[in-house]
Amino acid sequence: MPACHHWRGLELGRAEHGVSDMAALWLSRASTQLARRAARRLPAGRGSGEPTTSPWFLGAVPPPALGSTAAVETSRRRGFCSVRRFAGESSAAAATVVDEEPENGFVASDQQAVHFPGGKVSFVAEMNFLPDSMKERINCYRVLDDDGRTISGSRFQEVSKELAVKMYSEMVTLQIMDTIFYEAQRQGRISFYLTSNGEEAINIASAAALSMDDIVLPQYREPGVLLWRGFTLQEFANQCFGNKLDYGKGRQMPIHYGSNRLNYFTVSSPIATQLPHAVGAAYSLKMDKKDACAITYFGDGGTSEGDFHAALNFAAVMEAPVIFFCRNNGWAISTPTTEQFRSDGVVIRGQAYGIRGIRVDGNDALAVYSAVHAAREMAITEGRPILVEALTYRVGHHSTSDDSTKYRPVDEIEHWRTARDPISRYRKWVQGNDWWSDAEESELRSRVRKELLQAIQVAERMPKPPVADLFTDVYDKIPSNLCEQEQLLRDTIMKHPADYPTDVPV
């Protein structure tokens, strides 16, 4: 069995640590400066006990007004310590520029260091550029090996038989749902579909580690999270067929699910827009002192949008209990991650924002479950964001509008579809525990299939939402321009009924 696997062309060391190990490792590696910063931002009473003196802490002394002499002085110094040193002056000369008691984090310095907002910065004589990357890629937490056996020494969150079997069943259900809805689109019965093939463990195991009070802000390849929370196959079918029982009232394309009851914000097509929302939602949970966090999902492509930066930075500064869950599946439509970013994936970027993170094998249900479980705990009890990067692969085409064989090798797809399939790996583990049998497997598959076909039949027969719903929800109440337009439309429908679909009640 290989010790690591190739992922987008690079070797990834496999970390065989439990979650707490990982956290400990991270902490011990972090510099004292980082640790101090982390301690300082804990609210009074929870961490150090002392209210912070940093002027940049929320609600503390504001920075000096621009234009005041102090501000001018300070900003001059701020920029110039380092610049002068590059110009060849001695570090001592540069350091002594700062010599008075600060009001803003610029503490009087000694010869070797400057106190700069965020902590002490040491001076060195060498001109050291930070390297563009670390020598080794960040390793990847894993519990189950390729044969579904727990890796010796691996630490993970225990799951009961009941939970384990439920997770497995839901992964299978998601897979069947994808197969049948995909086929329904091919047959022209729904206009669009998009599968989560290959990402079933991410979907189900991450959902299983959350509580129902946690708020989910999805991208679009996470219907399994909603399935886990109790969205029925009928509810999925209603949305895809845009019938009158669809909560979105037939207004959005298929797969744009949402449920207030299940704390699952409605999917929006624009990429990454949900990330800053998640921070706001998390901040609200924190203000309400809820025992809950927000979690937002996004792809590798989504991390390139400005909203990704905005969200991570806000989350760090606001100390929001939010889990950023990146499904790094190697592709954004036809764009491989090598053309998306040159960092070591996504998890590394958390550090630059002051956000703790972990990379996890996204095709290992137990690893995903354990990582999210621990992330949730830290997010809520410590009031902080956590970044999770799950390595996986988009086994299906991007959507029914895409043919991925145009831009990626078929054997790459096949490899991930078979050798790395998260469902069969997890099944081996469940079955290895004697928690699952072949008989139960075929019973489950035929039951889900039957239920789904039934749901599709019902959804397809159900009328569309009425014309009146075209005009509601634009605002809380219908404004006069829309009242007028509704009347005009109704007149037109009366005059030209053949122009309009018969399954939309007028």
155 binds, among Mg ion, other proteins, ligand TPP, none (CB under 5 to 8 A by kind): none
Distance of CA 297 to the CA centre of its chain: 3
Q: State the helix-helix crossing angle for 422-432 and 161-186, rounded to 10 degrees.
A: 150
Catalytic residue among 75, 269, 334, 437: 269
Choose, from 50, 100, 158, 183, the residue flagged as catalytic. Answer: 183
Q: Taking the complex as a whole, how short is the minimal distance between the CB of residue 273 and ligand TPP, in angstroms?
A: 7
Q: Does 493 bind other proteins (CB under 8 A)?
A: yes
Instruction: Select which of 222, 235, 398, 404 is catalytic.
Output: 398
Q: Which span sits near Mg ion by CB under 5 A: 41-49, 177-185, 262-270, 327-335?
A: 327-335
Say if CB 307 and CB 276 are below 8 A apart: yes
Q: Count other C-beta atoms under 10 Å from residue 296's C-beta.
A: 28
**Main-chain phi, psi angles of 426, to 5 degrees:** -70, -35
Could you say which residues in the range 255-294 bind other proteins, by CB under 8 A?
A: 256, 268-271
| Sole window of 41-49, 207-215, 227-235, 496-504 interacting with other proteins (rule: CB under 8 A) | 496-504
Residue 207: Cβ within 10 Å count: 24
Q: If we measure between CA atoms, which residue out of 420, 413, 412 comes closest to residue 364?
A: 420
- Within residues 116-145, the interface with other proteins by CB under 8 A covers none
Q: How far is the CB of 363 from Mg ion (least distance, A)?
A: 14
For residue 391, report the phi and psi dihedrals to the nearest 5 degrees: -85, 125
Q: What are phi and psi of 428, to 5 degrees?
A: -60, -40
Q: What contacts 367, CB < 8 A, 6 or more positions away?
A: 141, 142, 143, 144, 156, 360, 361
Decide if residue 330 touches other proteins (CB under 8 A): no
- C-alpha closest to that of 302 among 313, 314, 291, 310: 310
What sign does the CA torsion over 91, 94, 100, 102 have? negative
- Residue from the set 83, 424, 503, 505 that interacts with other proteins by CB under 8 A: 503
Structure tokens at 385: 């964001």
Query: What length does the chain have?
Result: 506
Choose, by CB under 5 A, the member of 195, 329, 399, 400 that binds Mg ion.
329
Site map 470..499 versus ligand TPP, x via CB under 6 A? ------------------------------
Query: Is 269 designated active site?
Result: yes
Q: How far apart are CA 351 and CA 355, in angstroms?
A: 5
Interface with other proteins includes 9 (CB under 8 A)?
Answer: no
d(CA 282, CA 293): 6
Active site residue 152: no
In the annotation, is 50 catalytic?
no
Residues near ligand TPP (CB under 6 A) are 221, 269-271, 298-302, 327, 329, 331-333, 394, 398
Residues near other proteins (CB under 8 A) are 176, 179-180, 183-184, 186-192, 241-242, 250-253, 256, 268-271, 301-302, 304-307, 332-335, 339-341, 401-402, 406-407, 449, 453, 456-457, 460-461, 464-465, 467, 470-471, 474, 481-482, 485, 489, 492-493, 495-496, 499-501, 503-504
Residues near Mg ion (CB under 5 A) are 299-300, 329, 332
